[in-house]
Amino acid sequence: MSLKNPEVQPTRPSTLILGWGNLSRGDDALGPLFVARLQAQLPAELRDQVEFLEDYHLQVEHALDLVGRKRVLLVDASLNCVAPFQARRVQAMRDTSYTSHALSAEALLQVFVDFEGSAPPPGTLLAIRGEAFELGEPMSDAAQRHLSAALAWGLEWLAAMPYEDG
């Protein structure tokens, strides 16, 4: 698949929701769980307009998933955001994660710019507050509450977006 040749790209939903994290590390599961639960609650009229993906980390290859999108919601757990969650626009930017196996949201958008030669789709980073990230631990009660609040926000975010596929 080539970023430079949109003709070879299949028709895609205009919105991508991409969450990442490790389901075996307590609150680190917030990103993938957000994706799964929002997908389950997605109103029928939006099903053809939204695609959901999850992974352990953001990687260079995810830049391919941005091609042809009009908006992207990137979702991860965070120890640093305010509870219950924080949503902010992200801009393409090269940072120290750019050469690692796992990228920041900003670096992912920069990879898109570097390969596509154009601006990435507008991106929003949804950071959901987590507290416990130990291997084998269940999700904390606080993270469960934060996830519920983030899901309510996610449904509002989807409902507020104008959809113009094509």
pLDDT of residue 11: 84
**How many residues are listed for the chain in this entry?**
166
Nearest residue to 125 via CA among 102, 157, 164: 157
Q: How far is 55 from 123, CA to CA, in rounded Å? A: 17
Domain total for the chain? 1
Give SS3 for 7: helix
In a domain, 5, yes or no: no
pLDDT tens string 52-79: 999 999 999 999 999 999 999 999 999 9
CATH number at residue 18: 3.40.50.1450
**Which H or E run includes 40?**
helix 30-41
Q: Is pTM, for the whole model, over 0.75? A: yes
In a domain, residue 165? The reply is no
Q: Which domain holds residue 61?
A: 12-160
Q: List average pLDDT for each run of 10 residues in the chain, which is 166 residues long.
A: 52 95 96 98 92 94 95 96 97 72 88 95 97 95 98 94 53
Strand 50-55 and strand 15-20: pairing? parallel
Asked if the structure places residue 112 within a domain, the reply is yes
Q: Residue 7 falls within a domain, yes or no?
A: no
Note whether residue 57 is domain-resident: yes
Domain membership flag for residue 48: yes
Residue 4 falls inside a structural domain: no
95 in any annotated domain: yes
Which pLDDT value is given to residue 119?
Answer: 96
